Amino acid sequence: MEKGEKKCPKPRWPEGARRGGFLIERLTELSEIRTTVYLIRHEETGARILDLHCDDRENVFAIAFLTPPSKSNGLPHILEHSVLAGSVNYPVKDAFNELLRSTLQTFLNAFTYPDRTVYPVASQVHADFYNLARVYLDLVFRPLLRRETFAQEGYHFELAAPDNPQSPLLVSGVVYNEMKGAYSSPDNLMYKAIQEHLFPDTVYRFDSGGEPEEIVKLTYDEFVAFHRTYYTPANACFFFYGNIPPEDHLEFLSGVLASLDKRPAFYTIPRQRRWRKPRVVKRPFPILGGEDPSKKGVVNVAWLLTENNDVFETLILHIVSGILVGTAAGPLRKALIDSRLGEDLSPVTGFEAEMRETFFVAGLRGTDSQKARDIEALILRALNEIVARGIDRDLVEAVLHQVEFAGKEIVRGAYPYGLKLMGQAFQTWPYGGDPVQAINFPVLIEEVIRRWEKRPRLFEEAIEKWLLANNHRLLCIMEPSFSYLEEREKKMATYLAKVRKNMKESDLARIREEMNRLRVYQMTPDSPAAVGKMPRLKRSDLERKIETIPTEIDEEKALTVLKHDLFTNGIAYLDLAFDISSVPEEDVPYLPLLGKLMGGMGAAGLNYEEMVKRVALNLGGISIHPTCGLLFANKAEVWQRMVVRARFLYRKAEEAMATLGDLITSCDFTDEKRVEDLLMEQKNRLASSIVPSGHLVAKMMAASSFSLPAWREEQWEGRTQLIVVSRALESFRENPHAWVEKMMELKDKVMRRAGLVVNLTADEEGLHLLKEKLPTILDRLHDAQIGTLEGPFLPERRHRGVAVPAEVSYVAGAIPAPGYGEKAVAAMMVASKYLSNGYLYRTIRVQGGAYGGSCVYDPASGVFTFLSYRDPHIVRTLEAYREAARLLFGGTLEEEEVEKAVIASIGAMDRPLDPAGKGFVALTRFLAGITDDYRQALREAILDMSPANLSQEVREVFAGVEEKMVIAVLGSEERLNAANEELSEKMLLEPLFT
Ligand SMILES: [Zn+2]
């Protein structure tokens, strides 16, 4: 959102007006979010349209269909993938990928929910926005749904050796492999178990994503029929957000809708019948051999709550969840943790409103599943006590402040801001809910506060009604199993053997023929005529000038202060970047833990619970993390900082600064029980993120020997950090006092005034306020110097394989690459897009059946990495990496493909940032020494990149890739061993923990 007047855009038509086949059903001005809202109906088809007209130039369009599944065969999900593979007017094989590559989209995706499918696009450029919307609408309403697409995206059978009549049957397919990955993830299995068993009589008992065993039973005819049934205008909700005026949207839509299906829609999601008695369910999930099953179970208690159409009650329950478990001071969370019945809270703990009826879950992980009944009793006892004792008023105020803050903050993380509002509207609108009420958050929260003031036991009453007196309660026990994955594989193998046995020679011939047809289809490029129909930008359409972030630098009294004058909606952002370049090498791995402790312990005479409440009441959030990067044009030198990032409302500035000052100068680690809880929480969080982000974990391992920033990333965020945290927990348990003492010493080595850089982001009023209050913190910092020490030492360069419980692999291959300011940075940026969207996507995803295959180039750490995600192959993928590198300078690069890569590179550079993001990016540029002049030159070099230059400039980086590339693979032990047999240079195989 740009700086601008605080008013809503002027309404274009009165309520009740009819314009070109559209009826303006409702018009509302939401002044709190400066948005004029139109609810419109297309009279002929019955299509519903919501437009949020505001002054954000990142426009969003989305269409949602209600797609209730009737089996767990993944139909909605496979369809979501398949409609993006070409339509009547855009008959290219992979329209989604074409759009990704040749437009300035700032967001382009599709999501399958348990009951609906959503297709959103976003762009900051008017013509580009409508190009995207036009193609997306054609894709969803007129997809080609080829048999080959169904086989590639869904599943298909293959013969292990096509020429051998005895050969066993195999399954491949993108969604099939994606879901195999999902069915290896404990968190995912846990969530599924709750959803399926809490709603045993509704569509939610099925998995819309698809269960691998069910996916393989789906037929092509069912697939086509599902599309015909549900993808109609009357069953769709159209969403627009941004500064493009509504009349443009209607003009655009009337052209599209005129030729579409006019069947009425009558689908809805039935409500779940309520239980008279609570229920219990037990489900298995995979763990590794060697782990202790009595410490691995997860126990959850879940309640079915109100319909999410009741936005008011839903908000109250959201707040109740925030009170009970949302902060470390939450009384239910505390009761669970303090009971020592498990290691930490279950990751699904909290409130869920994405389905038609909402639910709340609380539980423990790292427990013995035999203790399930004890945990359930504990939760009920704690809730009874909370209601009897009454909820602490400070805690309610802190949670309300958090909710208010979240509603006010302009956030543009990975998603456009408009997408947040889209999500809120789609939560209730497809079931007939009021989307306008759902997005008018500031008004809702004010109403809750008013009611609470009149009725001080509002939240206690909600706990009584919805939790204690509610018999629709599920005790869900997740039991660890060593043989889970093996059994699943066996079950599938048995099924395939049965199918195979019943096949006649003619069936086998058909499979062979289909395999061939698919291969030919995948290898044949789209015709130039088909490609020519896709709308696309040319490089001459791209802006040549960089966008700059306002930065004013003050150097005073050996202190550097950066100021960024930006509209932040009344929120101040303060970053303190402490110099950690002289922290002893042996202490460096502990910096993330130090940040975790500082943010989670007591301080200045307050215990952690009081401190948590104080933080929640006065700040929007705090994070404390180490970070590192190469210095500009100097690969031998780096910057290393521990960055404290805080955000708060202007009106809270005084208390927020005092709180922050206490946290960083007077923190208190003496509560050893709390330290242990935080260590366990961190260990579990890291351990459970390994498989879901396996590609990133593999990438960090592969890259770690190439530069200090890459090594630091591995030490601070990768598998090395997991090992560090597990060992820290052990040594803490051996001698808590000594361990805590060491962390306090480390804190003193980090939180020093010497070399500090302060980074402030707010508008003029906020900057003034921040500057004025800054001494509250700075005056309390000590100025001691610490000497420089030996090191750092990069790890040994070698291939590694790490065994994880997963049915698919994650394969990374890294090579050293130039850092900012060195030769060939622009060419490497273009090359990474060229390969990611072209060869790697085709070879690893389309032909290989992996969920993802790409590469990333990071000039801040000087590394280029190939990676794959949920990949059925290892050796074949590594071969593709080598081939990709050779391709860049071996053959001739096509002008058109290079142009697409240039557009994608510029698109990535121009990704919009929220105010906090802009401030932080400007800080890292300052620390690395990257100037706007350099950025301008880099942009021009990208814009002017020719195929010949590209090939020429990257030659040195990719030459000899066979020798240079370091590989790291996460996968099952069997697959790693099998891969090692084929590899000439073997991987060192290691368990996840050493
Ligand atoms: Zn998918």
pLDDT tens figures, 477-525: 999 999 998 999 999 999 999 999 998 889 989 999 999 999 999 889 8
Task: State in Å: Cα 209 to ligand 1 middle.
Answer: 7
Q: Ligand 1 centroid vs 369 CA: distance in angstroms?
A: 32
Question: Each residue of 272-310: b (16+ CB within 10 Å) or e?
Answer: beeeeeeeebebbbbbbeeeeeeebbbbbbbbbbbbbbe
Tokens of 765: 């009023």
pLDDT band for position 2 (50/70/90)? very low
Q: Quick one: residue 883, left, alpha or beta (phi over 0 = left, psi -120 to 50 = alpha)?
A: alpha
| pLDDT single digits (tens) 870-918 | 999 999 999 999 999 988 877 778 888 899 999 999 988 998 999 999 9
Residue type, 330: G
Predicted confidence at residue 162, as pLDDT, reads 78
Instruction: Write the pLDDT tens digit of every residue in 570-610.
Output: 899 999 999 999 899 999 999 999 999 999 999 999 999 99
Q: For position 789, what pLDDT does the model report? A: 64
Give ∠ CA 443-240-565 in degrees, rounded to 5. 65
176 and 853 in contact (C-beta within 8 Å)? no
* Single-letter amino acid, residue 287: I
Cβ proximity of 46 and 264 under 8 Å: yes
Segment among 662-666, 839-843, 979-983 with least mean pLDDT: 839-843
Q: How many Å lie between the centroid of ligand 1 and the Cα of residue 424?
A: 22
456 Cα to the center of ligand 1, angstroms: 46
- CA 149–ligand 1 middle distance (angstroms): 14
pLDDT higher than threshold 90 for residue 720: yes
Q: Evaluate if residue 3 carries a pLDDT over 50.
A: no
Mean pLDDT of 126-138: 95
pTM: 0.86
Q: Where do we find the tokens 């009589």?
A: 201
What's the pLDDT score for residue 787? 67
Taking alpha carbons only, the member of 757, 754, 753 closest to residue 561 is 757
Of 523 and 147, more confident: 147
Q: How many CA atoms lie within 13 A of 356 on its CB side?
A: 18
Contact 280, 477 (CB under 8 A): yes
Please name the residue that has the structure tokens 């402490």. 578
Q: Decide: 316 and 403 in contact? Cβ < 8 Å.
A: no
Beta strand ranges found along 124-249 (DSSP E): 156-159, 169-172, 236-242
What's the pLDDT at 432? Answer: 86
pLDDT at residue 4 above 60? no
Q: How confident is the model at residue 476 (pLDDT cuts 50, 70, 90)?
A: very high
CB 247 within 8 A of CB 51: no
| Cα distance between residue 78 and residue 675, in whole Å | 46
Q: Pairing state of beta strands 757-762 and 852-858?
A: unpaired
> What separation in Å is there between the alpha carbon of 77 and the centre of ligand 1?
6
> Does residue 261 register a pLDDT over 50?
yes
Mean pLDDT of the chain: 93
Whole-number Å distance, alpha carbon 845 to ligand 1 midpoint, is: 12
> Tokens 């990751």 correspond to what residue?
347
Q: Which residues are catalytic?
A: 80, 153
**C-alpha of residue 155 to centroid of ligand 1, in Å:** 12
Residue 266 reports pLDDT greater than 80: no
For residue 643, count CB atoms less than 10 angstroms from its CB and return exposed for 0-12, middle for 13-18, buried for 19 or more.
buried
Q: What's residue 34's pLDDT?
A: 85
Residue 23, beta-bridge partner list: 18, 41
- Residue 758's CB: how many other CB atoms inside 10 A? 20
Does residue 273 have a pLDDT over 70? yes
pLDDT digits (tens, 9 = 90+) for 215-241: 999 999 999 999 999 999 999 999 999
Q: Is the pLDDT of residue 5 over 60?
A: no
How many angstroms does the Cα of residue 175 sit away from the middle of ligand 1?
Answer: 6
Distances in whole angstroms, Cα of residue 548 to Cα of each of 1, 375, 564, 852: 16, 54, 11, 33
- Please choose, from the candidates 810, 771, 510, the residue with its C-alpha nearest in 3D space to the C-alpha of residue 650: 771
CA of 114 to the centre of ligand 1 (A): 13
Tell me whether strands 22-30 and 602-603 are parallel, antiparallel or unpaired.
Answer: unpaired
CA of residue 81 to ligand 1 center, whole Å:
6
